Each structure stands twice: as structure tokens, then as C-alpha cells.
């Protein structure tokens, strides 16, 4: 994410777009408001893909318009009327391409060959009721993924196509009697979305714009269970857990009864709320089991069931559920909208802890090692996992991996050091005190807190 210098005299020259004479003309259609911190990278990512950059501003008071113009975009204005679809459709009207690509300012096109989609932009049997879906990954600012899903982002520019819904707008034919959109997944071009980074979401106060629109929609359409799910999700993002629980319970019940709406998403978010408020384990287990009865191979819900069973201290059943979640990730279709595929390490860490409690130490060690390789440094739970991991590496005499485990232990300020001192004593008894002294001396240079640990003097006293 880049910020531009606010002084006009330091403006960068306009970037050159890739213009081709073959294939359909592709326009970027973007709606913006106060996006000076994100817009530059978004437009630059679109330049190798699109022939034209159309930016419709809905009332910016920062440098958004200036940045867009500097990067060669055609900028126009449209008054904000509390309707995302109205603004989005206006971008389509102002585009000139035969095809349109949709990107928000807090998103970026990514891929080894971004322009590889261009040869596919030609009329098919369903034209113009056809579209391409791209893989969108919600990502934190540190680059770690949160979740992903496929979304329609490229389609013909045709007045019969557009968006509906004042918030969380949906793409499709504007005439209800028109054919269903023939949407094809294109995997050569993807999108990174930064807007759901937790800290960024709060700082940008996006809910101040979207939440009133969801509430207004529900006043007009009280049985719109999908919008009620969106409401619960917004409340959860804002930390309003009591409101989130109420909305998500209604959404889950309504979707389950009618069969219309994102049942798995509603169940998953409801279970997250129940964990956040420390609800009884049986409530979590019941929702997970009811959802699995309808979606028996969904990894996320199996994982939530495993967590619920662990909360109930049913460790053997919990381990089986987590194992099933990991197995379901390998099934066809598991790369769709599955949260767990970005957090496999978390499931492996839980599986390691469960097998540790069940005294299945080889299985625990295998799971912990897999968790270690993927677990982000900033994530919680390192001290307990490292303690168990080091203990098992010592027990199984895994001299290949033990140094890396100790190195991570030293870098984790609140991790217990007892297993390292145990290892030093073990080395002293098997290889002699001199080698143990060398091991301890080298470790202290990398981890000064070792010398402040109460066990340090005891070990020094033993090895001399």
C-alpha cells in the first residue's frame, strides 16, 4: 500500500497503460470515496489488464480525484444517494469498453500474467448474459489471508446487466425474465482485498456507511435472511457480539427454513459469536451438527464442531472432527469459499493439542510439526505449542528439527524455557558437561532472558 506525497510539485509522471489492438476493449469501472491511501496501488494493478480506467467519485474530500487523474483515469462525479448499486451502475454507464472489470480501491489485481484474461473476452453462446468469476482473497495488511471466495468481476458492458441492492449489491440481469448469467471461473487473474483487515476496518469506519443501509433494507424486507446475515456479520466485525448473536440466530434459522441464503456462512459466523461470548458448548455442537446434516463435507463446519467438542472436553470426538475437516479440504470443490484452507495450521495446532491430551504423542508431534511450518509469528498460542513441541522432539530424538524449535522458543518472550534446560541437562549426562556448557553459552547470546530464568543457576550448579 503506497501513499503519495501531498505536495503537487512532487507528483509522479502518469503511468503508461498497456494498450493492445487485439481482443475486446476492457474498461475498469470503479466507484470511490476518500480512497487516497489505497487508490494508487489499485489502479496500477489494473493498468496491465484494462485499456481504460473509469473512476466515479461519490464525494471525496481528500486527494482521491487527483491521484486517479495522475494515473490516467477518466474521473467523473456522481452524488451519493445511499445506494451502492446506483453508484456501481453509474460506473458501467460511463465506461466505453465492450467488457467491464470491477475493482474497488482497497483491492488489487494479482497474477503472474494479469492480461491473460483478455483473449477470453469474446461472445459465447449466452452473450451478453455471461461473466467471469475471479478468486477474491480477503487479506490482512501483513499479507496473511483471512478468507476467499469467487466473485463475478468481468462481464460484457450491456444495459441489460448491472447491480441491484442498496448494499452488498448483487450482479445479474436487471430484468427478472432474462436468462441466468453463465458465470465461468477464471483462475489466471485474482484479487486481493484489504478492507477486512480488522484494524483497518475499524479505522476506515466502513460500517458507518454500510450498516444503516443494511438496516434500511431489513425494514423494507424483514424476511431477507441474506441481508440479516450481513447485518450480523457487520455487528461481529464491530465487536457488538450481543447484536451479532441475535441477528445471526435469526438469519441462520430463516435460511435453514427457506433453503435460500448462505447457510454455511451464517452457521460459521454464529458459532464464532458463541465462542466469543463463551456460550455453552452444546449450543455450538448442535448448530454445527445441524449444518453438517445439510453440508456433510464442509471443512469449516467440521472444524467448528471439533472446537465445540474440545470445549466440552470430548477430546477423542474433537480430534476425529478436526481430522475430518482436514480430510474434507482434499475433496473436489474444497477450494471454494472455505475459510480453513487459509488456516490449516490452526487446525493442525488444535489436533496436536488434542492428541497430546489423549497421550497419542506420535500423532501430536506430527500435527504440531505441520502447524509449526505454517503458523504466523504474530498468532496466539505459541508458548504452549512450543513447550509441547520441544518436549516431543526431545522424546523422539528429532535432532534435525529441535534447533529450529528452540530458536523459535527463544524469540517468543513469554514461552517457558524449561524444556531447553531439560535438554541441557540431558546433553550433560550423555555427552559431558563441556558440551552442555557450550550449548548453554551459545544459547544465552541469542536469548539473554535465559540467564534470568530461575532454572539457569540450577543448571549451572549441576554442570559446573
Least trusted range by pLDDT, from 253-257, 375-379, 396-400: 375-379
| φ, ψ (nearest 5 deg) of residue 101 | -115, 135
pTM: 0.85
**Whether pLDDT at 3 is above 60:** no
Question: What's the pLDDT band for 9 if we cut at 50, 70, 90?
Answer: very low
Kindly list the domain boundaries of the chain, sorted by start residue. Answer: 8-197, 205-279, 381-463
- Write down the CATH superfamily of domain 8-197: Spore Coat Polysaccharide Biosynthesis Protein SpsA; Chain A (3.90.550.10)
Rounded mean pLDDT of 162-177?
93
Torsion angle of the four alpha carbons 201, 205, 206, 212, in this order, in degrees rounded to the nearest 10: 140
**Whether pLDDT at 5 is above 70:** no
In this prediction, residue 147 carries a pLDDT of 87
Q: Which long-range contacts (CB under 8 A, 24 or more apart) does 6-13 make?
A: 6/63, 8/66, 11/70, 12/70
For domain 205-279, the question of CATH label 3.50.50.60 is answered with: no
Least trusted range by pLDDT, from 188-202, 346-360, 384-398: 188-202
Check: CB of residue 73 under 8 Å from CB of residue 64: no
Terminal CA-to-CA distance of the chain, rounded, Å? 54
**Kind of pairing, strands 99-102 and 74-77?**
unpaired
In this prediction, residue 336 carries a pLDDT of 65
Check: CB of residue 51 under 8 Å from CB of residue 19: yes
Same CATH topology for 8-197 and 205-279: the answer is no
In this prediction, residue 19 carries a pLDDT of 38
Question: What's the pLDDT band for 194 if we cut at 50, 70, 90?
Answer: very high
What's the 3-state SS for 172-188? EECCCCCCCCEEEEEEE
Half-sphere exposure of 342 (CA within 13 A, CB side): 16
pLDDT for 64-112, tens place per residue?
999 999 999 999 999 999 999 999 999 999 999 999 999 999 999 999 8
Chain center to CA of 405: 27
Please tell me which residue, 210 or 281, carries the higher pLDDT value: 281
Amino acid at each position: 500500500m503506497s501513499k503519495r506525497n501531498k505536495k503537487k510539485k512532487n507528483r509522479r509522471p502518469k503511468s503508461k497503460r498497456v494498450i493492445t489492438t487485439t481482443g475486446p476493449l476492457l474498461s475498469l469501472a470503479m466507484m470511490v470515496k476518500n480512497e487516497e491511501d489505497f487508490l494508487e496501488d489499485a489502479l496500477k494493478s489494473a493498468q496491465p489488464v484494462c485499456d481504460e480506467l473509469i473512476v466515479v467519485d461519490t464525494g471525496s474530500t481528500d486527494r482521491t480525484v487527483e491521484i486517479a487523474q495522475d494515473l490516467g483515469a477518466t474521473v467523473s462525479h456522481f452524488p451519493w444517494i445511499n445506494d451502492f448499486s446506483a453508484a456501481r451502475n453509474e460506473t458501467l454507464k460511463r465506461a466505453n469498453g465492450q467488457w467491464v472489470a470491477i475493482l474497488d480501491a482497497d483491492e488489487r489485481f494479482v497474477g503472474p500474467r494479469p492480461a491473460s484474461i483478455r483473449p477470453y473476452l469474446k461472445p459465447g453462446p449466452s452473450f451478453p448474459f455471461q461473466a467471469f468469476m475471479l478468486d477474491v482473497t480477503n487479506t490482512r495488511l501483513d499479507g496473511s489471508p483471512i478468507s476467499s471466495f469467487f466473485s463475478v468481476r468481468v462481464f460484457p458492458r450491456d444495459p441489460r446487466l448491472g447491480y441491484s441492492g442498496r448494499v452488498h449489491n448483487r450482479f445479474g440481469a436487471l430484468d427478472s425474465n432474462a436468462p441466468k448469467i453463465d458465470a465461468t471461473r477464471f483462475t489466471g487473474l485474482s484479487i486481493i482485498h484489504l478492507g477486512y483487515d480488522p484494524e483497518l476496518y475499524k479505522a476506515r469506519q466502513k460500517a458507518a456507511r454500510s450498516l444503516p443501509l443494511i438496516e434500511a433494507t431489513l425494514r423494507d424486507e424483514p424476511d431477507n435472511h441474506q441481508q440479516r446475515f450481513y447485518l450480523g456479520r457487520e455487528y461481529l466485525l464491530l465487536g457488538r457480539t450481543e447484536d451479532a448473536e441475535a441477528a445471526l440466530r435469526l438469519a441462520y434459522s430463516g435460511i435453514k427454513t427457506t433453503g435460500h441464503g448462505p447457510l454455511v456462512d451464517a452457521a460459521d459466523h454464529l458459532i464464532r459469536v458463541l465462542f466469543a461470548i463463551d456460550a455453552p458448548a452444546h449450543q455450538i455442537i448442535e448448530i454445527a451438527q445441524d449444518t453438517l446434516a445439510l453440508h456433510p463435507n464442509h471443512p469449516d463446519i467440521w472444524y467448528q464442531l471439533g472446537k465445540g467438542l474440545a470445549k466440552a472436553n470430548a477430546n477423542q470426538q474433537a480430534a476425529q472432527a478436526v481430522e475430518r475437516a482436514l480430510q474434507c479440504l482434499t475433496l473436489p470443490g474444497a477450494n471454494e469459499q472455505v475459510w480453513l484452507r487459509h488456516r490449516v495450521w490452526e487446525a493442525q495446532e488444535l489436533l496436536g493439542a488434542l492428541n497430546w491430551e489423549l497421550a497419542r504423542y506420535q500423532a501430536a508431534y506430527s500435527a504440531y510439526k505441520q502447524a509449526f511450518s505454517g503458523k504466523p509469528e504474530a498468532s496466539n498460542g505459541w508458548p504452549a505449542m512450543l513447550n509441547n513441541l520441544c518436549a516431543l522432539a526431545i522424546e523422539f530424538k528429532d535432532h534435525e528439527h529441535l534447533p529450529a524449535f528452540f530458536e523459535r522458543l527463544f524469540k517468543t518472550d513469554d514461552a517457558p524455557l524449561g524444556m531447553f534446560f531439560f535438554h541441557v541437562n540431558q546433553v550433560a549426562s550423555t555427552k559431558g558437561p563441556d558440551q552442555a556448557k557450550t550449548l548453554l553459552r551459545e544459547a544465552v547470546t541469542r536469548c539473554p532472558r535465559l540467564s534470568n530464568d530461575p532454572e539457569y543457576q540450577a543448571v549451572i550448579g549441576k554442570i559446573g
